[in-house]
Homo-oligomer: A and B are copies of this chain.
Amino acid sequence: MRFPKAFAFAGILIFAVSAALFAQDTGQAPDLNLMPQPSELTPGEGRLAIDDSFRVALTGYREPRLEGAAGRLIQRLRRQTGIPFNDQLETDASKATLVIACDRAGEVVQSLKEDESYTLDVAAQQARLSATTPVGALRGMETFLQLVDLDARGFGAPAVTIHDRPRFPWRGLMLDVSRHFMPVSAVERTLDGMAAVKLNVFHWHLSDDQGFRVESKRFPKLQELGSDGKYYTQAEVKEVIDYARDRGIRVVPEFDMPGHTTALLAAYPELASAPGPYSIERHWGIFNPCLDPTNDAVYTFLDGLIGEMAGLFPDEYFHIGGDEVNGKQWKNNPRIQEFMKAHDLKNTADLQTYFSKNVVPLVEKHGKKVIGWDEVLQPGLPKSAVVQSWRGPRSLAEAARQGYMAILSAGYYLDLMQSAAQHYQVDPLEGATADLTPEQKSHILGGEACMWVEFATPESVDTRIWPRDAAIAERLWSPEDVKDVDSMYRRLVVTSHWLDSVGLTHHTAHAYMLERLTGLRPTASLEMLDSVLEPVKGYAREGARDYSSLAPLNRLVDSTPPESTVARAFAKLVADPRANQDAIRKRLTAWRDNGSDAGLLSMMRGSALLEEDIPLAKDVADLSAAGLQALDYISSGKPAPDSWATEQKALIDRARKPRAELLIMIAPAIQNLVEAAGKSGP
């Protein structure tokens, strides 16, 4: 088997981190703001001061990638602290604040086997980072940057010894760049964020119905007719691959087939299973256009395309998609139906398997291994393939049982607007996979967060990926028993701000979008409203309007973060309304006054983009007023009358319904308050 050492050691490491975490929870050691949590952490004595004398030295093996990373570390630390550090590396290691010692070169093309482990030893006088490979050193540098904080003494890093390595070797983020094109700057920003939380696979979803996004020199019509001019040149692709490699990230390209190919078929309609012409799809959903598995020209074309792209992308793996083929064109084409009968293919799934069996050898011929969405898991799939489980964890277990390698994406779809906790609680080795044998479990390589961009643009995409992806990154890096949700959230809030220093725009874009919504007026009252809302969940937005790729994504739902930190904190307070009465009352009063504020409402009426949100503002005010009344009942010790409770119930039922594709996230907590008021007693 091909799984790396780090993975094999997971059993031991789990114990180590448990002890460390336990020490933190019960002892006086500070809760360090590390995310992902390292495998093993031992607090030390004292603190390394970070001041203008800070210098970095490289010892041992050196290469430009390490030097570049050390330079970026200095820049990042400058941004974190505002101190104008000396840019030059220190040649005398004894004089350096941070010594980075690397043993040897990493793989020429980073693979699943790359050693990502490191040891970071921070003492009061010096920090020492040791790693076998440059990739391990990169991981340790991020940990070092996360350790740096500000206290009454100034900037510094607490003394600590960390031995760290990943639980899973495949920790990815898939980014769809087809539905809304993401320029290189957005991709590179995303890579910076990924590296910061130790993710190591960038899965680049380059083609779909809505666009074919990479330049083909062999088939230039692909970008000419399939991209609206929005595609990556091959030079840009190489730039991105280099950028990713510099950050220890593999780039796995995906060319989705045989479905999700409308943009490709706009260029080459003769490869479709029904007569063309085709044009780039502007809407969201599952569409009919599909490659014709019975047409030899399709395989000739794919041989050429895969060959060209296999030469462009150095990674060992090549993603051929395979998802969501509805089979309609196949069913409606008598010639294809004839072919299926002649080849004993009983249904369209069989025909897709036939297609896969023809495509996989093409990929292998060009020196790559195949990865595909879980639909490719059909009898006859070569055992070298990796299955990406997206429809549920069962296919993950099934793939492993059948001897395939597999990664989990079900439960990690960032575009579905779930909470960080929901993602965090999904573990590739729990649930459906829990019963696997250890050998079978070793086939689970890790997972990938997925960011589909029907409802995200380069402007807003960071607000959808971050900070929640950091929680998924922790699930995939940290030992299995690192699963305390409260600790995760405590660290996530800090990590989210730390990610600002990485250059991510989730905070600045959110602020800018609110400014736009108000027509450049002050945003404080809109911010207060927005802070208790969340976008609707799952696929609810797709049905809410007739969306297309041309629709502006400039409404409140497009800027509101996927998860309301404020509502989560409020729910915690409401769990004990008596103890937290003052804090609850303060918040409810502010929300009530804000939502009934004439300034807010008149501003919203004056903005065509905010008018739809006025009912939400009013309901937040009414809910807050109800919550305050409930608190009065609770503190009076006398239960609220039934008539009052019934009235509030109607309000809460209304307030829990989505409006303008948004949800009021304090509604459940208010409901709890109202229910508590009904049962109130001393």
Contact = CB atoms under 8 A, between A and B. Distances in A.
Interface of A: 33, 52, 79-84, 87, 149-155, 229, 457, 459, 494, 497-498, 500-501, 507-508, 511-513, 515-517, 519-520, 549-554, 558, 605-609, 611
Given A150-B516, A151-B608, 12 more contacts: A81-B554, A82-B459, A82-B513, A82-B554, A84-B549, A149-B519, A152-B606, A152-B608, A154-B608, A498-B520, A500-B512, A507-B511
A554 B151 contact: no
Given A82-B513, A516-B81, A552-B84, A611 B459 contact: no
A201 to B, nearest CB: 28
Contact of A519 (B79, B151, B500, B520): B151
Contacts of A83: 552, 554
Contacts of A516: 80-82, 150
Contacts of A33: 520
Contacts of A512: 500-501
A501 B508 CA distance: 12
Contact of A500 (B457, B515, B517, B605): B515
9 contacts: A52-B552, A81-B554, A82-B513, A82-B554, A82-B558, A84-B550, A151-B519, A151-B607, A508-B508
Given A497-B515, A519-B149, A520-B494, A457 B606 contact: no
B519 A81 contact: no
A608 B84 contact: no
Contacts of A150: 516-517, 519, 607-609
A52 B497 contact: no
A603 to B, nearest CB: 11
Contacts of A550: 52, 84
Contacts of A519: 149-151
Given A52-B552, A520-B494, A607 B82 contact: no
Count chain B CB atoms within 10 A of each CB in A229, A520, A606 and give the residue with the most.
A520
Contacts of A515: 497, 500
Contacts of A84: 457, 549-552
A133 B9 CA distance: 70
Contacts of A611: 152
A424 B608 CA distance: 35
A124 B480 CA distance: 63
Contacts of A554: 81-83
A-B CB proximity, top 5 nearest: A82-B554, A150-B519, A497-B520, A154-B608, A83-B552
A81 B513 CA distance: 9
Given A87-B229, A520-B494, A552-B52, A153 B608 contact: yes
A568 B82 CA distance: 29
Given A520-B494, A554-B83, A152 B508 contact: no
Contacts of A152: 605-608, 611
A149 B519 CA distance: 6
Nearest to A609: B150
Nearest to A496: B520
A512 to B, nearest CB: 6
A430 to B, nearest CB: 32
A150 B552 CA distance: 14
Contacts of A508: 508, 511
Count chain B CB atoms within 10 A of each CB in A52, A152, A457, A507 and give the residue with the most.
A152
A119 B549 CA distance: 35
Count chain B CB atoms within 10 A of each CB in A150, A508, A605 and give the residue with the most.
A150
B511 A511 contact: yes
B52 A151 contact: no
A403 to B, nearest CB: 46
Contacts of A79: 459
A186 to B, nearest CB: 14
A511 B505 CA distance: 13
B607 A552 contact: no
Nearest to A552: B83
A263 B297 CA distance: 68
A611 B81 CA distance: 16
Contacts of A607: 150-152
A513 B150 CA distance: 13
A602 to B, nearest CB: 10
A393 to B, nearest CB: 35
A513 B83 CA distance: 12
A115 B497 CA distance: 48
A148 to B, nearest CB: 10
Contact of A606 (B81, B151, B494, B551): B151
Nearest to A88: B229
Contacts of A549: 84
Nearest to A604: B152
Contacts of A609: 150, 154
